[in-house]
Structure 1
Amino acid sequence: MTRIKTFLKAICTTDMLLVALVTCAASVVGSLLAGLPAFSLFGALIIALIIGMLLQIPMRAWFAGSGARHAQGIGGAAGLIANKLLRLGIILLGFKLNLDVLFATGVKTIVIAAIIVTLTITVTYVIARKLGVDEHLAILTAGGTGICGAAAVMGLSGSITMPKGEEQRGRDDEVMAVATVAIMGTVFALAQIALRPVLGLTNAQFGTMGGASLHEIAHAVAVGGSAGNTGMNAAIIMKLSRVLMLAPAALIIGAWWARRHAQPGDGPRKVPIPWFMLGFLIASVAGTYLPFVAQFTDVLVKAAYLVLGMAMAALGMNVDFKAIASRGRMAVLASFLASILLTGGAFFAAKLLF
């Protein structure tokens, strides 16, 4: 009850209401722009993040005349929105995952997705660490590269507990990882579309390769769509199979992180359970098998992207640009190298197995 009262008190402040309105507007604008051909490859979440980052300029000018206390209130409000709404958004995103569609394709697609996600996360993490990327940024970049871009970064981040005093570094890592997978996904989506005539794949195989290798759902849809309805359907099925791996990946990585950072004398540590991921799975089941819920899935998925867009915009409002410039370059290189390997593996899997 005390935690609920504290939360309600926090969300009723002027700063919180202001940030909520600004981030909501950024999310709506992001969704509208994502519907335009020129911006469709980026996706609504990435655009909302960029808008939030750009909003730092006028808001910092406002901070200068409003006092440090007000600036701290705005920053705290943005942090709370980013933290709480990302969990709600991930839960609502579960309604997008139609389990019947996945299971109708057989076990093969899901097994391949599990192998791809496991190998990609592992390889990307190892490469990033070899390049000197710190482990928190490395695992978020690996998750975003291996699973489903920005949503995976935010989902995995929610299952990892940062030490006290390092919360800002954690938020900067989230932005860097999201930006990295957005750039890589866009680059490799354009490359795959350009290379399609010389790859020698059927439309279904080409769509499968895109769904197996690209980071954001928007990237997979764009690449699959270039091969017609057959290619798009194959891309969506393969991509959603990878999205299904988000919940177990969050649980496994959260447990791994907790054990890795256990201190001597702590005693037995509880395995952290990302409960919002349980909500994600429940939403998937409800949206697939409950007719009353299924008729509202389109509305619920739109609500998911609105909420996630608000979280991304709030995250962008708090980003430290200096930290990104100094620490993000090697993460980009790691994701680039891993994406080359991922694309090659996806090509051979599509060619030989589909």
Structure 2
Amino acid sequence: MKNYGVLRTTGFFIALILTLICALIGNFLGSQPYLSLIGALVISLILGMLFQVFRQPVAASREGIGFISNKFLRLGIILLGFKLNLIDLASAGVKTILLAVVVVSGTVSLTYFIARKFGVEKELAILSAGGTGICGAAAVMGISPQIKVEKHMLTRQRENEVMAVAVVAILGTVFTLIEIGLKPLLHLTPTQFGVMTGASLHEIAHAVAAGSSGGPISLDTAIITKLSRVLMLAPAALIIGGWYQRTTPQPANQEKRRLPIPWFMAGFILASILGTFLPLGASTLAFLVKAAYLFLGMAMAALGMSVNFRVIFQRGRNVFLAAFLSSVILMTFTIIVSKTFF
């Protein structure tokens, strides 16, 4: 028993070191001009996948990897709340908040519906819908703890997480380039272009990259519009978790599962309130947000270390197609809305 405890402790520290290396490199590469479009979280995930070549240390740290992908994820999302300034969001006006609600609810529902029609399993359809409709990888990882699966399904659920993150990362990058290319043809004002990019693109990094191509006004509008969607993450996770529990059959001999309450999402909201109303200072807030991306990067790297590539390639085609179609519809919708109402 004593030796087992030592092995568990050693495995945790190996996992801590490996994922920290991936997250630090991911954060550095994600800040570089051309790689910023991909984002630090996705780079950390890719590095975690590459670390699978070191089979012995990864196998020895298996339990630590599971802990980091679970607990560090929650801590990172809580700290990410400091990125949200509620006063800035309120000053954006009712139209922006209403647009965020419509985009998130509509895109999540549409992506899920199309994915299910294409034969994608329920859990993967939910995660890809959340990532497409809300805020990319962070939304996938924020919603995933609400999808309570049986123990024998945990490995498959990790594969679902990786596939959903991969889908939103690839499509977000593709649609960022498409929207930048369409900009001269759409004849949108800087504000309208910022609304379109912030309301339609998947990751914050994508909205920043596309919005900046329209100038400072476009960039500011894109960030505010995108953060309005990020604010929907907490209520969306709660609603999706409750809906999943009610609509998923349970074994006859199993006690009724309790409605999952995402307490870490309450921490996310609290962090946004503290960051908005306490005089923490710009440097402190910047540090907390960097810490958020470090912990999230470690969680993503841990996820990458446990991925099964063969399964992902076999099961990823239909969910990718579903998210692509819903992204096309979302982009078209936001172009019309931005021209009409902004």
Alpha carbons 2:198, 2:211 under 8 Å: kept: yes
Q: Which residue of 1 aligns with 2:29?
A: 33
- Quick one: which of 252, 259, 272 aligns to 2:246? 259
Alpha carbons 2:8, 2:64 under 8 Å: kept: no
Q: Which residue of 2 aligns with 1:20?
A: 16
Q: Output the TM-score relative to the length of structure 1.
A: 0.92
Alpha carbons 1:11, 1:17 under 8 Å: kept: no
Q: Deviations over 1:137-182 (max 9, x none)?
A: 0000000000000000000002221111110100010000000000
User: How far apart in 2 are the matches of 1:126 and 1:105?
Assistant: 31
Q: Which residue of 1 aligns with 2:121?
A: 134
Alignment pair present for 1:352 and 2:340: yes
Unaligned 5+ runs, structure 2: none
Q: Which residue of 2 aligns with 1:313?
A: 301
| TM-aligned CA deviation for residue 323 of structure 1 | 1.0
Alignment pair present for 1:102 and 2:98: no
| TM-aligned CA deviation for residue 76 of structure 1 | 2.1
Q: Which residue of 2 aligns with 1:4?
A: none
- Quick one: which of 320, 325, 338 aligns to 2:326? 338
| TM-aligned CA deviation for residue 297 of structure 1 | 1.1
| TM-aligned CA deviation for residue 261 of structure 1 | 2.0
User: How far apart in 2 are the matches of 1:339 and 1:153?
Assistant: 16
Letter matched to residue 126 of structure 1: F
| TM-aligned CA deviation for residue 271 of structure 1 | 1.8
| TM-aligned CA deviation for residue 106 of structure 1 | 1.4
Alignment pair present for 1:200 and 2:196: no
Q: Which residue of 1 aligns with 2:288?
A: 300
Q: Which residue of 2 aligns with 1:218?
A: 205
Q: Which residue of 1 aligns with 2:264?
A: 276
Alignment pair present for 1:50 and 2:37: no
User: How far apart in 1 are the matches of 2:270 and 2:317?
Assistant: 38
User: How far apart in 2 are the matches of 1:232 and 1:315?
Assistant: 32
Letter matched to residue 187 of structure 1: V
User: How far apart in 1 are the matches of 2:202 and 2:224?
Assistant: 14
Does 31-40 or 188-197 show the bigger shift?
A: 31-40
Letter matched to residue 235 of structure 1: A
- Quick one: which of 144, 163, 178 aligns to 1:176? 163
Secondary structure (helix, strand or coil) at the match of 2:61 reads helix
Q: Which residue of 1 aligns with 2:101?
A: 114
Letter matched to residue 31 of structure 1: N
User: How far apart in 2 are the matches of 1:339 and 1:23?
Assistant: 31
Q: Which residue of 1 aligns with 2:76?
A: 89
Q: Which residue of 2 aligns with 1:158?
A: 145
- Quick one: which of 156, 169, 173 aligns to 1:186? 173
Q: Which residue of 2 aligns with 1:78?
A: 65
- Quick one: which of 221, 224, 235 aligns to 1:237? 224
User: How far apart in 2 are the matches of 1:262 and 1:130?
Assistant: 19
User: How far apart in 2 are the matches of 1:259 and 1:10?
Assistant: 41
Letter matched to residue 218 of structure 2: G
User: How far apart in 2 are the matches of 1:293 and 1:152?
Assistant: 27
User: How far apart in 2 are the matches of 1:232 and 1:74?
Assistant: 42
User: How far apart in 2 are the matches of 1:339 and 1:112?
Assistant: 16
User: How far apart in 2 are the matches of 1:81 and 1:10?
Assistant: 18
Letter matched to residue 28 of structure 2: L
Unaligned 5+ runs, structure 1: 1-8, 64-69
| TM-aligned CA deviation for residue 75 of structure 1 | 2.0
Alignment pair present for 1:285 and 2:273: yes
Are residues 329 and 270 of structure 1, via their aligned partners in 2, closer, same or farther at CA, if it must alter by over 3 Å? Answer: same
User: How far apart in 2 are the matches of 1:194 and 1:336?
Assistant: 18
Secondary structure (helix, strand or coil) at the match of 1:146 reads helix
Alpha carbons 1:210, 1:235 under 8 Å: kept: yes
User: How far apart in 1 are the matches of 2:73 and 2:323?
Assistant: 23
Stretches of 4+ aligned residues off by more than 3 angstroms: 9-12, 264-269, 292-295
| TM-aligned CA deviation for residue 295 of structure 1 | 5.7
Secondary structure (helix, strand or coil) at the match of 1:296 reads helix
